[in-house]
Structure 1
Amino acid sequence: MIKVVHLQNSMKSAGSAALRLHNSFIQYGINSKIVSLFTDKIKDDKIKYLNKKARIISRLDTEVKKCVNRNIIPTYGSFSFPLFGTDVSTLKEINNADIIYLHWVLGGFLNLSNVRKLLKLKKNVVIFMHDMWWITGGCHHSFSCEKYTLSCNNCQMIKGNRKRDLSALEFNKKLKLYSKFDNIYFVSPSKWLYDCAKNSKLTRENSIFYIPNTIDSSFYKPFDKKVARNILNISPEETVIAFGAVKINSPYKGWNYLQKALEILKNNNNLNNILILIFGDSYNEEIDNAIPFKTKFMGYLQDEYSTALAYNSADVFIAPSLAETFGYVVMEALSCGTAVVGFEIGGIPDLIRHKKNGYLAKYKDSEDIANGINYCLENKLKGYILPEFEPNKTLNKHLELFDYIRSNSKK
């Protein structure tokens, strides 16, 4: 039986992708384990949490990064230059594994030297890319910048005009690392990121695979909307427009475009009894005051049940992301039978069939977001997950990857 270990910073939020894949492997009978930096409420003998020393190193990395990143322009999102990390190459979970999956391992969990030590074990390492960081000089989303296809330098995120800046330094480090080992494989959850990786100078010579994220359909599925609203204390007479993000005003999530779209709906339509349901982030008075409709903030939802309830209570879900590698919230909403309106960007077009299970709006076009909301509500559009994203098909793609790795290892 093949043995897999997943490395993930935390099981919360972004960690759900790693946890869901791990659970999918377990259900199939694959020997799967997780090594996580931070502990949480999940108690499982298949999850190993690192010790206090590792968490201190992580906090040190976070504090030093504030100084290193002092010239980073935040409107472009996140930039990571990992300084400190923990050597996990001696852990029994690592040494017993045949394949090591690296998920979100930043935030002081691993640095590139730690990744090199894992590759030196001559075990097969699969890097599951949850954003663009692995294929750039440090940014998590490049937006319109394509320097990563040649060589990152004079980064748009970094103040000043230096050709040999942090992005150039990190780019060269990654290039040396990726070119030295033949036991490294890259997985993209979206066709868009797959194409980006194929075009990146860092990864174009490596093995790259397109495998979507998986979802637990026992949680995320349609059920009676009236029941969901009753549990959440939402009137069955209200038209519910939902929006979810861990950080609403993140430069990636497109809040400003949604705000304008809601203003357009308020001014140009006869929509009545509208409720804007917001979850993922805590209450924000500024955002509340900017919304021209009644609002309900649900905060961070701690479990899959509550999240599925929120999706099921909505008539339409809005995902106005300006940069989206995959679009997990889109997949979750569609799986719950809720139509989704989102920009035609990143991995979102993989999930939405225009005017079938949702609406693909023109990029950065608030009026088209408003058109999409109207279209979904007027046509009572229902969301559904596309056949290629069924969990069993996603799992089979990982099994095909395992077969490829086995055959490649024998050469």
Structure 2
Amino acid sequence: MVLHLSNFHLEGGAGVAAARLHRALLKSNVESTLLVSQVTANEPGVSNLSNNALQTKKALARFIGERLYFYPQEKDASVRFAFSPAEVGADISNHPLVQQADVIHLHWINFGFLSLDSLDKLFSLGKPIVWTLHDMWTFTGGCHYSRGCEKFLTHCHYCPYLAKPEEYDISFQQFERKQEIYNNTKMALISPSQWLDNLVKKAALTADITSSSIPNCIDTVLFKPLEKSVIWRKLNLSASKKLILFAGANTSDPRKGFIYFKQALEKIGLLSSEIEVMVLGKANPKAMDTFPLPVHYLGKISDPAKMVDAYNAADMIVVPSLEDNLPNTIMEAMSCGTPAVGFATGGIPEMIDHQINGYIALQGSAQSLAEGIEWLLNDENNARMSENARAKVLETYAESIVASQYQQLYQSLLSHE
């Protein structure tokens, strides 16, 4: 039995990716279980770590304790959730599902779900460990994305996320602790993008640990092309306009590059009368008042069917992330036949093949992003890109393809016990 561990169930990119892999494995007849802090919606094989009111309060206390530990040390509020000290977490080493598991598969385990001590106890059980990395935290001294800092290549210290960076600060201490608990652990580190796997192979903490790249997967039966005219009527959208979608968990997160999206639309100029924008995700609706084009603010949507409608309504999705692994939004849109424009950063160029199924813009360039949007607005380009986008997902990210790769990995680890 494979036990997946994820703080979140259907919240955030990592939680969604973990749940999708769990479902894909079940469809491939793999005995799979997913243990999360709190189940978002009942589904087969997904269990709560918090099964009653007391355990739910304890989970909240762990989250608060974790944040309070970091609060006095953070540089400012902008990095509050960008660094995880992993000081507070649950000890699940004696949990029945952990004891029954043949393979323990870690996903995103921060924010009070598991601590470094929790990991140490799990690793001490001697079971094969697979860890799917959804950001850089596994091989840094605490940051989820390094924002250009490369100290993780040698040894973290003088961390730029801290109010008082020092030689032996908490990033140094976490780095040392990780080094200690990673030693002699039978573990495989899996990165959804080749970009992240390349960093794993260079990072001082993980260079000697078995690693490879296996992408996240998606249900291509659910996320599929639909008749646009039907969706436009359903969402009360104009059939005469070109619709550009921005989808992000939080538009105020600088890493998501929303400001570049806005600047790019301001540069489009002559075509602006033909364009309207859809924004999907957490945002301040008042921020749309100063937008250069009409905006349809869809808010945060968790219903997959409504997400499929939004992707199908759009002529393209724009993902101007400055740092990202393998964004679910691009995969979801492309699976619906909606081509993507994104910056040449992280795993995005692995998903978008330039001028084949979308457009890759120069990182941090609103002008290049605008050029990509204009290029895709061409009807001939858009129709061709749409077909190619769907084909890329079917060939690379379909459930059966990804599940098969993980099955081979599990079997390899178990056969070497």
Q: Provide the secondary structure at the position in 2 that maps to 1:180.
A: coil
**Are 2:345 and 1:339 aligned?**
no
Measured in 2, the distance between the counterparts of 1:73 and 1:384 equals 42
Superposition deviation, residue 385 in structure 1:
4.5
1:144-223 residue pairs with structure 2 within 5 A? 144-181=148-185, 183-223=186-226
The 8 Å contact of residues 7 and 34 in structure 1, kept in 2 or not, is answered as: yes
The answer to which of 209-218 and 53-62 deviates more is: 53-62
Specify the alignment match of 1:303 in structure 2. 303
Q: Provide the secondary structure at the position in 2 that maps to 1:38.
A: coil
Length-normalised TM-score, structure 2: 0.93
Give 2:281's aligned amino acid. G
Measured in 2, the distance between the counterparts of 1:401 and 1:135 equals 21
Specify the alignment match of 1:58 in structure 2. 59
The answer to which of 94-103 and 341-350 deviates more is: 94-103
Q: Provide the secondary structure at the position in 1 that maps to 2:318.
A: strand
Specify the alignment match of 1:130 in structure 2. 134
> Cα RMSD over matched residues?
1.6
Specify the alignment match of 1:121 in structure 2. 125
Specify the alignment match of 1:111 in structure 2. 115
Superposition deviation, residue 309 in structure 1:
0.7
Query: Could you list the per-position Cα deviations for residues 58-88 of structure 1 after superposition, in whole angstroms to 9, with x for gaps in the alignment?
Result: 3223333245233234556700011221111
Measured in 2, the distance between the counterparts of 1:384 and 1:145 equals 36
**Are 2:391 and 1:390 aligned?**
no
The answer to which of 352-361 and 398-407 deviates more is: 398-407
Length-normalised TM-score, structure 1: 0.94
Extract unaligned runs of 5+ from structure 1.
none
The 8 Å contact of residues 28 and 400 in structure 2, kept in 1 or not, is answered as: no
The 8 Å contact of residues 351 and 385 in structure 1, kept in 2 or not, is answered as: no
Specify the alignment match of 1:407 in structure 2. 415
Specify the alignment match of 2:37 in structure 1. 37
The answer to which of 231-240 and 133-142 deviates more is: 231-240
For residues 255 and 347 of structure 1, do their structure 2 counterparts lie closer, same or farther at Cα, with a shift above 3 Å needed?
same
Q: Provide the secondary structure at the position in 2 that maps to 1:88.
A: coil
Measured in 1, the distance between the counterparts of 2:390 and 2:324 equals 20
Give 2:390's aligned amino acid. Y
Give 2:403's aligned amino acid. L
Specify the alignment match of 1:6 in structure 2. 4
Give 1:4's aligned amino acid. V
Superposition deviation, residue 407 in structure 1:
3.1
Query: Could you list the per-position Cα deviations for residues 345-397 of structure 1 after superposition, in whole angstroms to 9, with x for gaps in the alignment?
Result: 00101101101110000010000000000000112242335223333221221
Specify the alignment match of 1:247 in structure 2. 250
Query: Could you list the per-position Cα deviations for residues 121-174 of structure 1 after superposition, in whole angstroms to 9, with x for gaps in the alignment?
Result: 211111110000111000000121111010000011112341111111111111
Measured in 2, the distance between the counterparts of 1:45 and 1:392 equals 18
The answer to which of 183-192 and 72-81 deviates more is: 72-81
The answer to which of 43-52 and 105-114 deviates more is: 43-52
The 8 Å contact of residues 283 and 297 in structure 1, kept in 2 or not, is answered as: no
Measured in 1, the distance between the counterparts of 2:64 and 2:294 equals 40
Give 2:195's aligned amino acid. W
Count how many residue pairs are aligned between Structure 1 and Structure 2: 402
1:225-244 residue pairs with structure 2 within 5 A? 225-244=228-247
The 8 Å contact of residues 252 and 283 in structure 2, kept in 1 or not, is answered as: no
Question: Greater helix share, 1 or 2?
Answer: 2
2:264 corresponds, among 261, 266, 270, to: 261
Superposition deviation, residue 218 in structure 1:
1.3
The 8 Å contact of residues 57 and 85 in structure 1, kept in 2 or not, is answered as: no
The 8 Å contact of residues 193 and 213 in structure 2, kept in 1 or not, is answered as: yes
For residues 262 and 95 of structure 1, do their structure 2 counterparts lie closer, same or farther at Cα, with a shift above 3 Å needed?
same
Measured in 2, the distance between the counterparts of 1:39 and 1:161 equals 38
Give 1:47's aligned amino acid. V
The 8 Å contact of residues 102 and 127 in structure 1, kept in 2 or not, is answered as: yes
Extract unaligned runs of 5+ from structure 2.
none
For residues 90 and 161 of structure 1, do their structure 2 counterparts lie closer, same or farther at Cα, with a shift above 3 Å needed?
closer
Query: Could you list the per-position Cα deviations for residues 224-252 of structure 1 after superposition, in whole angstroms to 9, with x for gaps in the alignment?
Result: 11112222121211210000111111121
Measured in 1, the distance between the counterparts of 2:360 and 2:324 equals 14
Q: Provide the secondary structure at the position in 2 that maps to 1:256.
A: helix
Measured in 1, the distance between the counterparts of 2:174 and 2:55 equals 23
The 8 Å contact of residues 152 and 171 in structure 1, kept in 2 or not, is answered as: yes
Give 2:279's aligned amino acid. I
